[in-house]
Amino acid sequence: MKKKRLIIVSNRLPLKVSIANGAVAFSKSEGGLATGLDSLYSDYEKHWVGWPGMYPDNDEQKELIQKELHALHITPVFLTSEQIQLFYEGYSNSTIWPLFHYFFAYTHYNPKYWDAYQAVNRIFLEHTILIASEDDIIWIQDYQLMLLPGLLRKEIPTARIGFFLHIPFPSYELFRILPEREFLLKGLLGADLIGFHTIDYMRHFISSVYRILDLDCKINHIYFDKRVVNIDSYPMGINYDLFHNAIERKGIVKYINRYRRQFGNHKIILSVDRLDYSKGILHRLRAFDSFLNDYPEFRSKVSLVMIVVPSRDNVEKYQDLKIKVDETIGAINGRYSDMTWVPVYYFYRGLPFEQLSALYNYADIALVTPLRDGMNLVAKEYVASRQNGTGVLILSEMAGAIVELIESLKVNPNNIEEIKIAIYNALIMPVEEQRERIEKMQKVIKKQNINKWATDFLGELELAGNKQDELMKKIITSDKISQLKTNFHNAQNRLLLFDYDGTLAPFANDPLKATPNEALNKLLHKLMLVPNTSLVIISGRDYTTLEQWFPEKAIKLYAEHGAFFRENDLWIKNFTSDELWKDEILLLFQKIIDKTPGSFIEVKNSALVWHYRKTDSWLAELREKQLIESLVYPCSKLNLQIMRGSKIVEVKVPNVNKGICAQQMLKLKNWDFILSIGDDTTDEDMFKVLPEEAITIKVGRASENARYSLSSYKEVLKMLNEFIT
């Protein structure tokens, strides 16, 4: 059986390319993303699209590289040095990176950066569609390509597209600062599934979406452009067995013996980071300095081994950081070192796997204290490597890994005193406690490994894509409209059941301003002129308003979701209840209104409605929960219904809903054409009671209870106008 194709698109390929003596040479890329994805096992045929990390001198070199890489299922994206400077060093790492890591003061804006970011995302699009088809799974990686999902969706509408963000997603208050915020969000929403490392990042993203784009968000689903986008968290893991079993290699044992000779009997604290201001390197050094000052008994007994991998050496902020790190280490060593002991061993270079793994096995403590980090795999690699079960992990609460590694010594990376005390506690921790903590953490990361991370994401992506296919089938096409039009005209008895707000007319911030316009009135009048056609509007509006808007008696009207109906010139009450209950409920509503700017109460004969369409989304969500919680007991006591609708919470008398109205209409005739259209949860009652052959249409988010869907009231009016032409 042929494997499905998985196309991984990332700025960085799992290998670097170089040309020496006319031949192409490959070397592995650094970084958890490239190495992690490259090592995962899957049932897919993997293809990569990405930058090869070099600039070919001429077209011949390009062709040579392409030929070699295509044989490995890799499509290289060649970029110029200027594009890398503006797109990668510019918008990606000078605008997005600092802002998403909460270093607002370091964020740099330049229109050329944004232009390059858009242009390079389009270049990645061009290379991806050369090899991708609608049957492939396309998995886009990280912040450099946040526009690509939306671009791909336009080119391959039915493709399975996933996106994973490997850095934090900031709070709305920070993200809103970006001038291009809407473009980035809409680009991401081209995916079927968007993944984050933690629930916090996922929550921040959803908050930004419904505040900036004002989209309909339900738990972890966002309705956008006739599609449902799924959002979830997937903590990235490591190749556990690779690190856990590494000590069995002869080469690693050799390095461990070398470290034993080099460091003697000193306790070793290990720090491994890329040079970046988000990693908290200076804070870590100051904490170690403070530790040596306050606990002199540990001098000559413990050393900090600091591995700093060079990064962006040509950027001024990174150059300044490098200088400060060098100076701080020099000051510590000058202050405390003696003839037999060096406090800080400093290596400004990346280490090959064998040396790094040997350090993981040899070090007594891992000090991992980034100021902000999407996940941090170093913490997991250290824990996995501890085959003898000893060792202590000191971990920043600002790293995504803290969610899983709860047995670590958690610290605030900005609190020098707290890090200092954690170092002391780690050094005096009993071996039994070390083993207990390490064992618990190893169980977690062994289970949540790199393969599970990828398998979970890709499995959810396929499910999301399948659900998307089902939803797409419900969208009414032009061919389907033609068929419905034929059925409409061939029928003997037609029943049309319509909601009003959001179905025949747009929502308005002021409900009284949603008056039907002339075009709608003409449309309804023409529908009524079709012989043997009954037109029914079932609305949540009060009957006074509906009477003013639809005076023609040929239209059957149900007000307040069916609490009242018009019979000739009379409005007939369709429920039995007094109005004494309103006083108690009004008090609860009023408390919420006083604390929620932009919200208001609508008083109906059979219901009270709290409207919050003009309220800040986050505040409205909070107040909605508070209101419903306060309503549960009194409504249960008074036998009242609590109903959530589109930007409303309604309390109403029982046994009144649109389903009952529809059932009353069904009894009047043997209808051979039934069309029911609505956009709200209240319309679900109507869809449920109608016969299977009825044409039920949900406006907006597709519904399990409706056979079809249309994106907006405009599409509804367009379809109905087709019926009468």
Which active-site residues does the annotation give? Answer: 499
Those residues whose C-beta lies under 8 Å from the C-beta of residue 9, and which sit 6 or more positions away, are 48, 49, 50, 124, 128, 138, 139, 140, 141, 145, 148
Q: Alpha-carbon distance 339 to 328, whole Å?
A: 20
How many Cβ atoms are within 10 Å of 413's Cβ, its own excluded?
A: 24
Angle between helices 148-155 and 111-131 (to 10 degrees): 40
Three-class SS string for 480-502? HHHHHHHHHHHCCCEEEEECCEC
**Closest alpha carbon to 152 in 193, 122, 185, 115:** 122
Instruction: Give me the residue label for tokens 């016969």.
Output: 691
Those residues whose C-beta lies under 8 Å from the C-beta of residue 159, and which sit 6 or more positions away, are 132, 133, 134, 136, 138, 152, 153
Instruction: Give me the residue label for tokens 């959803």.
Output: 206
First vs last C-alpha separation in the chain: 51
555-559 and 564-567 strand pairing: antiparallel
Q: Alpha-carbon distance 719 to 484, whole Å?
A: 9
Decide: 613 and 649 in contact? Cβ < 8 Å.
Answer: no
Q: Alpha-carbon distance 477 to 475, whole Å?
A: 6
Structure tokens that stand for 406 in this block: 């709860």
Q: Alpha-carbon distance 128 to 152, whole Å?
A: 8
Query: Which H helix or E strand runs over 53?
Result: none
DSSP SS3 for 302: strand
DSSP per-residue codes, 203-265:
HHHHHHIIIII--EEETTEEEETTEEEEEEE------HHHHHTGGGSHHHHHHHHHHHHHHTT
Q: Alpha-carbon distance 700 to 290, whole Å?
A: 60
How many Cβ atoms are within 10 Å of 89's Cβ, its own excluded?
A: 16
- The C-alpha angle 453, 376, 403, rounded to 5 degrees, equals 70
The conformation of residue 341, written as its DSSP 8-state character, comes to B
Instruction: Give me the residue label for tokens 């000191």.
Output: 394
Q: Which segments of 310-343 are extended strands (E)?
A: none
Dihedral (CA of 532, 538, 544, 546) sign: negative
DSSP SS3 for 430: coil
Decide: 528 and 554 in contact? Cβ < 8 Å.
Answer: yes
Decide: 362 and 345 in contact? Cβ < 8 Å.
Answer: no
Decide: 358 and 255 in contact? Cβ < 8 Å.
Answer: yes
The conformation of residue 475, written as its DSSP 8-state character, comes to B
Three-class SS string for 155-171? HCCCCEEEEECCCCCCC
Those residues whose C-beta lies under 8 Å from the C-beta of residue 339, and which sit 6 or more positions away, are none
